[in-house]
């Protein structure tokens, strides 16, 4: 019953947090006004700025911030014990992560949908803007370079997930066009989308479709990278209502219903046990992982690496890019921001909680060994996956522990009666779909970053009359197609390299993102600290309270830097140093020091002094802004 108690306790805690702390932030700090003009209406262009129902924006935002992060992070962090992992997820998401996401969303909405990087140039100074944007460019390039490999690995491990994931694309486009042109309510499309998605999961690996899945699962990593980057280009340049919004909405429905089924299965397993074995006896559900494990074999120190390993699910800097890059441009009513920003992060925290329970309890209901050998239950099933840090490393091991554990909850519910392998296929589709939404959203975000950098990079040159002339050498990248092409070419070039230590062949190409991937965790968390810095200055300049944001800001600036320094020492002292990641680590530390130094100098002088105002909107936009008060 401990597993069920934790799940229900977490759900209650999140509901209470949303209606207390979240509401306090919305009303007393950010003072959300349902009558205030919003960027989606002021700047409505039918492509990026599109006023959208909050349920659809929630779907986009939630699936974009989630990705595989709240799965792979908790699935390996339980090596230090399920208690530290659970506490960081619960209190990190409520007090740090949700505040970060909510704050970035509101600040962006109050600045016409600008990204946090661009806003930094006004609330701090222009130098900080450029530093921030360069960090974003680097982080998003790594995401785009690595996630093709991630999706290929998931497809190879769970071929039954391929067809359902591919079907999502035409299904999303059809629903997007239907909603946009007919203006109908969401109920019918939602029911239809869910029905079709579950049909493809149940029957998507039968007969010729099974052969189709196996064929695609055999494609090389570089082939998948190319296919997925081309898809990302298309998704990035199309209007958000065409593919991005409906696909993310479908994924959110699928995830929420899958979560509901997992929780129901967990309830059944807690009361009656897991699915009956051949003997007809149900395995008792119990937590089989250790509560604390201070020094797992081969693992780094719990502090600070627990807080770097679990990012999504507690606090992730990538979320500020989604909040300020896409979601702020779609919210049609300012008061929706609490539901989208704060609510999405709590939902992700709950997902991470379920991941922890699946790995620490669900796995004990029965699992094969890490290489498919034998069948184990109880503590033996846990030890088969988590015997050492090295055994738990690798995408397959992390995802496999969650998929097998959560599938056991579904099996206890009787889902396998729909067809053998349905439970595993459903969880595999969930993981692959999340990775896909992160990829296409990251590509659109990278396009915004490149456009901002291109527009801000201005050189001064004297003409023949001695007058200063402003020149933008990268002006062509202000165009959305050129910026997106640059983004995918840069990511593709990095991805085309082989994984570290391997010679280049068509089979090894596609793992190049792994070269810089070891730095991504710390860089991502540092980005969260820098976003807090921007939110803090925005509040400080308006004489609004900052006591609730300063502690998490300091924590998220210090912890990633500390972890990076420890990693740098290990990398430099290794037999074969990875100089690319070492140079990146040093550069990130220096950039952080520079930005923090600039902030410390400015902080005493910024209290009550408003930043430079945005230029006034044209007559058409000003007129449309009046609709902002009527949109709710």
Q: Which two tokens stand for residue 30?
A: 């950010």
Domain, as residue range, for 78:
2-144+253-461+520-629
Find the range with the poorest average confidence among 85-99, 114-128, 277-291.
277-291
The residue-averaged pLDDT of 254-276 equals: 90
519/287: higher pLDDT? 287
Can you name the residues that pair with 462 across neighbouring β-strands?
468
Asked whether residue 20 carries a pLDDT value surpassing 60, the answer given is yes
> What number is the average pLDDT over the span 427-444?
86
pLDDT of the residue at 628: 42
The token duo for 441 is 């959203």
Q: 201 in a domain, yes or no?
A: no
- C-alpha–C-alpha distance, residues 490 and 414, integer Å: 47
Q: Which residues, including other chains, have CB under 8 Å from residue 292's CB and lie 6 or more apart?
A: 80, 81, 83, 84
Q: Give me the pLDDT at residue 475, please.
A: 78
What mean pLDDT do residues 584-610 have? 90
CA geometry: angle 385, 521, 78, nearest 5 deg: 30
Label residue 36 exposed, middle or buried (CB < 10 Å: 0-12, 13-18, 19+). middle
Whether residue 241 contacts residue 47, with contact meaning beta carbons closer than 8 Å, is answered with no
Q: Are 118 and 338 in contact (CB under 8 A)?
A: no
pLDDT band for position 434 (50/70/90)?
confident
- Residue 150 inside a domain? The answer is no
Cα angle: 295, vertex 298, 301; to 5 degrees: 45
pLDDT band per the 50, 70, 90 thresholds, residue 133: confident
At residue 488, the pLDDT reads: 94
Where is average pLDDT lowest: 400-404, 503-507, 539-543? 503-507
Quick one: pLDDT at residue 466? 60
Chain segment 307-360, per-residue pLDDT in tens: 999 998 999 999 999 999 899 999 999 999 999 999 999 999 999 999 999 999
pTM: 0.91
| 380, pLDDT greater than 70 | yes
What is the pLDDT, as a whole number, of residue 469? 62
Q: Is the pLDDT of residue 461 over 70?
A: no
Q: Within 13 Å and on the Cβ side, how many CA atoms surround 193?
A: 28
Tokens coding 169: 């694309």
Q: Does the pLDDT of residue 614 top 70, yes or no?
A: yes
pLDDT at 297: 86
* 460 strand-pairing partners: 470
Tell me phi and psi for residue 470, to 5 degrees: -85, 130
> In this model, does residue 459 exceed pLDDT 70?
no
Q: Does residue 227 register a pLDDT over 80?
A: yes
Q: Determine the average pLDDT of the residues in 107-131.
A: 88
**Cα–Cα distance for residue pair 345/434, rounded to 1 Å:** 15
Residue 92, domain member (yes or no): yes
Structurally, how many domains does the chain consist of? 1
pLDDT surpasses 50 at 586: yes
Tell me how far apart the alpha carbons of residues 50 and 65 are, in angstroms, rounded to a whole number: 20
Backbone angles phi, psi at 331, to 5 degrees: -65, 130
> In the predicted model, what is the mean pLDDT of residues 112-132?
86
The pLDDT assigned to 463 comes to 57
pLDDT of residue 138 exceeding 60, the answer is: yes
- The mean pLDDT value for 392-403 works out to 78
- Tell me the pairing of strands 375-376 and 468-471: unpaired
209 is a domain residue: no
Structure tokens at 490: 């840069």
In the chain, % of residues over pLDDT 90: 49
Query: How many CA atoms are closer than 13 Å to the CA of 261, on its beta-carbon side?
Result: 22
Measured distance CA(536)–CA(558) in Å, rounded = 16
Query: What's the residue count for the chain?
Result: 632
Rg (CA), the chain: 24
In a domain? residue 496: no
131-136-139-142 Cα dihedral, nearest 10 degrees: -120
Residue 221 belongs to a domain: no
Q: For the chain, what is the mean pLDDT?
A: 88
The per-residue pLDDT for 629 is 47
- 172 domain-assigned: no
Alpha carbon distance 307, 293 (integer Å): 16
For residues 222 and 510, the answer to whether their CB atoms sit within 8 Å is yes
Strand 375-376 relative to strand 367-368: parallel, antiparallel, unpaired? antiparallel
Cα separation, 426 vs 406, whole angstroms: 10
pLDDT tops 70 at residue 620? no
In angstroms, the CA 347 to CA 452 distance is 31
The conformation of residue 367, written as its DSSP 8-state character, comes to E
Query: What is the pLDDT, as a whole number, of residue 525?
Result: 92
Per mean pLDDT, which of 57-71, 175-189, 528-542 is the most reliable? Answer: 528-542
* CA distance to 227, 433, 560, 612, per residue, from 220 (Å): 11, 19, 34, 51
Residue, of 623 and 217, whose pLDDT is higher: 217
CA distance 512 to 156: 18
Q: Given this model, what pLDDT does residue 163 score?
A: 92
What is the pLDDT confidence band of residue 623, given thresholds at 50, 70 and 90? very low
pLDDT (tens digit, 9 = 90+) per residue, 567-576?
Answer: 999 889 888 8
- Residue 622, pLDDT score: 40
Helix (H) or strand (E) holding 406: helix 395-413
* Token digits of residue 368: 């094969």
- Would 392 be classed as within a structural domain? yes
pLDDT for the residue numbered 278:
58
Q: What is the DSSP letter of 340?
A: I
Highest mean pLDDT among 95-104, 149-158, 218-227, 268-277: 95-104
Choose from 145-149, 304-308, 459-463 the range with maximum mean pLDDT.
304-308
pLDDT surpassing 70 at residue 626: no
Per residue in 504-540, pLDDT (tens digit) is: 887 788 888 888 888 888 889 989 999 999 999 999 9
Burial (Cβ within 10 Å: 0-12, 13-18, ≥19) of residue 465: exposed
């Amino acid at each position: 019953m401990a597993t069920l108690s934790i799940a229900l306790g977490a759900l209650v805690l999140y509901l209470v947090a949303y209606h207390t702390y979240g509401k306090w932030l919305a009303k007393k700090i950010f003072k959300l006004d349902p009558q205030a003009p919003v960027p989606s209406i002021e700047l409505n262009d039918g492509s990026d700025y599109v006023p959208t129902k909050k349920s659809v924006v929630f779907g986009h935002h939630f699936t974009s911030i989630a990705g595989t992060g709240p799965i792979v992070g908790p699935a390996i962090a339980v090596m230090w014990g399920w208690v530290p992992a659970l506490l960081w997820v619960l209190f990190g998401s409520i007090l740090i992560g949700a505040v970060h996401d909510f704050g970035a969303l509101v600040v962006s909405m109050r600045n016409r949908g600008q990204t946090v990087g661009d806003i930094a140039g006004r609330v701090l100074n222009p130098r900080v803007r450029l530093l921030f944007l360069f960090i974003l460019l680097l982080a998003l390039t790594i995401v785009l370079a690595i996630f093709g490999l991630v999706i290929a690995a998931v497809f190879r491990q769970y071929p039954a997930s391929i067809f359902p994931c591919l079907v999502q694309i035409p299904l999303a486009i059809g629903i997007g066009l239907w909603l946009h042109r007919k203006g109908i309510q969401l109920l019918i499309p939602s029911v239809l989308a869910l029905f079709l998605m579950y049909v493809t999961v149940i029957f998507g690996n039968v007969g010729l479709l099974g052969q189709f899945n196996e064929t695609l699962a055999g494609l090389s990593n570089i082939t998948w990278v190319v296919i997925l980057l081309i898809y990302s280009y298309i998704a990035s340049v199309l209007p958000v209502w065409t593919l991005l919004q409906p696909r993310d909405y479908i994924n959110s429905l699928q995830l929420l219903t899958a979560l509901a089924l997992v929780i129901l299965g967990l309830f059944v397993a807690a009361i009656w046990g897991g699915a009956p074995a051949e003997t007809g006896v149900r395995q008792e559900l119990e937590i089989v992982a250790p509560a604390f494990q201070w020094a797992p074999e081969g693992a780094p120190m719990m502090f600070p690496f627990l807080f770097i390993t679990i990012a999504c699910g507690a606090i992730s800097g990538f979320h500020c890019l989604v909040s300020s890059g896409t979601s702020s441009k779609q919210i049609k009513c300012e008061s929706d921001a609490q539901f989208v920003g704060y609510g999405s992060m709590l939902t992700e925290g709950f997902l991470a909680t379920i991941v922890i329970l699946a790995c620490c309890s669900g796995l004990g209901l029965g699992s094969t060994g890490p290489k498919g050998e034998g069948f184990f239950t109880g503590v033996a099933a846990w030890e088969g996956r988590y015997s050492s840090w090295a055994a738990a490393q690798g995408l397959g091991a992390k995802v496999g522990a969650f998929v097998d554990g959560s599938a056991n909850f579904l099996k206890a519910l009787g889902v396998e009666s729909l067809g053998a392998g349905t439970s595993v296929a459903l969880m595999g589709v969930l993981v692959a779909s999340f990775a896909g939404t992160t990829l296409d959203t990251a590509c659109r975000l990278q396009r915004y970053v490149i456009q901002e950098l291109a527009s801000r990079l201005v050189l001064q040159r004297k003409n023949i009359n001695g007058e200063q002339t402003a020149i933008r050498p990268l002006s062509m990248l202000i165009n959305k197609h050129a910026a997106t092409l640059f983004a995918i070419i840069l990511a593709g070039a990095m991805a085309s390299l082989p994984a570290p230590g391997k010679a280049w062949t068509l089979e090894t190409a596609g793992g190049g993102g792994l070269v810089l991937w070891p730095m991504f965790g710390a860089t991502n968390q540092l980005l969260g600290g820098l976003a807090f810095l921007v939110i803090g200055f925005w509040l400080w300049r308006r004489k609004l309270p900052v006591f609730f944001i300063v502690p998490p800001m300091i924590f998220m600036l210090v912890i990633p830097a500390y972890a990076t320094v420890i990693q740098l020492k290990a990398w430099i002292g290794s037999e074969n140093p990875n100089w690319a990641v070492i140079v990146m680590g040093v550069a990130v530390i220096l950039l952080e020091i520079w930005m923090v130094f600039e902030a410390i100098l400015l902080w005493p002088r910024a209290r009550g002094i408003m930043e430079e105002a945005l230029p006034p909107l044209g007559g058409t936009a000003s007129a449309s802004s009046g609709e902002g008060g009527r949109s709710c």
